[in-house]
Amino acid sequence: MTDPANTKMSFADGPPRFNHVALSVPSSVLAPSGRADLLSFYGAVFGMAELPTMTEDHRRLVMSVGHWDQFVFLIAEDDPMTAPRMDHYGLSVSSKRDFDACWTRAEPFAASDGRVDLIAPSFEDHGPVILHSFYAGFVLPLMIEIQYWEFT
């Protein structure tokens, strides 16, 4: 058997890349007031925006993450996803300034809404790179880890 870590795949126009994460949630989360809460938090903190042509009340919400082909897909299910607190997906930002700005925008939400779950910024020094990160969760079953990779 070939070791997948040592297998070099060939793609004519570049390797596959992540483009979305899909999460199931209770239909109440996708009601107009629930959607408004999600869009307020995720929009203000991370710049996510609703793709309104995809929205169906109580059924579906799609939020773009920086570009139309990168998105969070939320779908209503009778038995929605649950996850331990630290299960997450990651987003990276291009500068320490943007990293700090995301944190600064998240803090007031946490102070005013008990549904916001924040884990304070920290860093790991790996020599040639310092990895800055923090976690943010709001209503959805997975948290987001925000990372900034500082190359020294």
What is the tally of structural domains in the chain? 1
Query: From CA 27, how far away is CA 84, in angstroms rounded?
Result: 21
**Is residue 72, in this structure, part of any structural domain at all?**
yes
pLDDT digit string (tens) for 108-151?
Answer: 999 999 999 999 999 999 999 999 999 999 999 999 999 999 99
What is the domain extent for residue 64? Answer: 20-151
pLDDT digit string (tens) for 59-84?
Answer: 999 999 988 899 999 999 999 999 99
Query: From CA 66, how far away is CA 49, in angstroms rounded?
Result: 8
pTM above 0.75, yes or no: yes
The CATH number of the domain where 105 resides is what? 3.10.180.10
**Is residue 84, in this structure, part of any structural domain at all?**
yes
Phi-psi region of 142 (alpha: psi -120 to 50; beta: other; left: phi over 0): beta
